Amino acid sequence: MKLFYKPLLSFSIIFFCLLFQSQLVFGQCGCNHIISLNATEYIFDGAKKGVKPGDKICFTSGTRTGIGFVNIKGTAEKPVIITNMCDGKVVLNAPLNWGNAVEFNSSSHFRLTGSGNPNEEFGIEIKGAQMGLNIHGLSTNFEIDHLNVNNVGCVGITAKTDPTCDQATWRGNFTLRDSKFHHNKISDTGCEGFYIGNSHYDNTLSKTCNSQTIKVSEHDLINIEVYNNELRNIGNDGIQVGGTKNASIHHNYVYNVGLKNNEQHQNLIQTGNGTQATVYNNIIDTGKGYGIFDSGGGGIYYNNIVMNAQLGGMILQDIAPNFAPTGFYVVNNTFINCRDYGVLMFSENLNTTYYINNIVVGQNQSNYKYVNFNNASKNKCVESNNLRTQDISTVKFKNPSAKDFQ
């Protein structure tokens, strides 16, 4: 009896320990699914894994190669959460010849967040590959936050679906909606930091489908918010947003942009064709292009500090055939040491542009243009209470040498 009893006791203890360990992993961090560090687990298919709205998917702590997510389907009320462990951090380090280190395809209502561990500001680090994070394939309605994306061959974070012969990818059939990018750190990229939306909104693209050439239009984006991000050492444009209705770009720090010196791809913040943006409370410092470049038209810009932009502080324009729906609003901005121009505008819209309460401290150039509008008629622009100087000491900034422009 004793010999028969002891193995039963040992089995019970082992079973209890395994159950406790399992509950510790799944229960302590609230994880419904675990992604291992095994490199062979390179696709996570939400449909095959049985992922439900509201589920939490956790990365095992440590270092692994990249991964692709497909069919991650939450709801507005119950998004699927993909995150690091509550007591750890994951590094996704992909070979540079990979297309994407992390990607999402055919997914909606999800959140990728590195905030799982309160002791790690960026609990998910992504490095390598050509695209650090690529959200495509008709994916929409997502939140991306607390990622550290660095040392990628091209774009840090990109979100768009390129049009193909599949009509589902065309404008009118797909819209990328209600998405946020916040509290991310992006550094040392070969191309853009953020590339959100497409770049040819006002033009069609030619595609050969079933041996016929057709013209297709890139999809819309609605309600896109980019905020509280830090970008440093970016090869092309820092934050680029295109084809977006109701875009909000605020409280970002963007530094040292356009390192590849690629013409027309070197602006610190760029809102492209088809974009109406509200851009405010950003600190924009040092770049080969313009501090702010707006070719969508009708943007609202306030409380931004723009420094050391080598082509000028800001350029505003609208592009035919879809001219800006309104004039521009440029209010309460500070431009410091931007070459040639404070603000340069090319606009064909007949509505009034407002240029009010701005400070421009120009470089010591004899031909410096503090503000230059292509159409100076009175019904075109209202200018009021702006300060223009080449002597920064006259402005009485609190501590300009420390970049404190209060």
pLDDT at 12 over 60: no
* Whether pLDDT at 129 is above 80: yes
pLDDT band at 27 (very low <50, low <70, confident <90, very high): low
Quick one: average pLDDT of 389-403?
94
By C-alpha distance, which of 260, 284, 267 is closest to 188?
260
Mean pLDDT for the stretch of residues 328-332: 94
Instruction: Give residue-wise pLDDT tens across range 38-81.
Output: 999 999 999 999 999 999 999 999 999 999 999 999 999 999 99
Counting every residue, how long is the chain? 406
Confidence of residue 8 (pLDDT cuts 50, 70, 90): very low
What are the tens digits of pLDDT across the range 68-121?
999 999 999 999 999 999 999 999 999 999 999 999 999 999 999 999 999 999
- Is the pLDDT assigned to residue 199 strictly greater than 50? yes
Question: pLDDT band at residue 20, thresholds of 50, 70 and 90?
Answer: very low
The pLDDT > 70 percentage for the chain reads 89
> What is the pLDDT at residue 28?
75
Q: For residue 350, what pLDDT is reported? A: 67
Determine contact, residues 252/222, Cβ cutoff 8 Å: no
pLDDT-based confidence at 18, cuts 50/70/90?
very low
Lookup: tokens for 148: 């550290």
Mean pLDDT of 336-341: 95
Confidence of residue 274 (pLDDT cuts 50, 70, 90): confident
Judged by average pLDDT, the poorest of 144-148, 186-190, 215-219 is 215-219
Please give the average per-residue pLDDT across 214-236, as a whole number: 96
Contact by Cβ (8 Å): 306, 291: yes
Question: pLDDT: is 374 or 202 the higher one?
Answer: 202
> What is the C-alpha end-to-end distance of the chain, expressed in Å?
84
53: closest CA among 79, 72, 26?
79
pLDDT at 90: 98
Instruction: Name, in order, each residue with C-beta under 8 angstroms of 171's C-beta and a sequence gap of 6 or more.
Output: 163, 216, 217, 218, 219, 220
Contact criterion met (CB below 8 Å) for 374 and 346 = yes
What pLDDT, on the 0 to 100 scale, is given for residue 352? 81
Give the pLDDT confidence score for residue 375 in this predicted structure.
61
Q: Where are the beta strands (DSSP E) in 310-400?
A: 312-317, 329-331, 334-336, 341-346, 353-356, 359-361, 369-373, 381-384, 387-389
**pLDDT value at 19 more than 60:** no
What CATH number matches the domain at 38-402, 3.40.50, 2.160.20, 1.10.1790, 2.40.128? 2.160.20
What's residue 1's pLDDT?
41
Torsion-angle region of residue 35: left (phi > 0), alpha (psi -120 to 50) or beta?
Answer: beta
Neighbouring CB atoms inside 10 A of 124's CB total 28
> At 166, phi and psi to the nearest 5?
-75, 115
pLDDT reading at 21 higher than 50: no
Residue 63's contacts (CB-CB under 8 Å, 6 or more residues apart) are 37, 90, 91, 92, 93
Pair of tokens at residue 318: 């609208």
Residue 10 has pLDDT above 80, yes or no: no
| pLDDT in the model for residue 16 | 43
* pLDDT confidence of residue 270: 95
Q: How many CA atoms lie within 13 A of 267 on its CB side?
A: 20
Are 292 and 269 a contacting pair, CB within 8 Å? yes
CA nearest neighbour of 171 among 225, 134, 215: 215
374 pLDDT above the threshold of 50 = yes
What's the mean pLDDT in 302-310?
Answer: 97
Domain extents for the chain?
Answer: 38-402
Closest CA to 90 of 110, 64, 128, 121: 64
Q: Sign (positive/negative) of CA torsion 36, 41, 44, 50?
A: negative
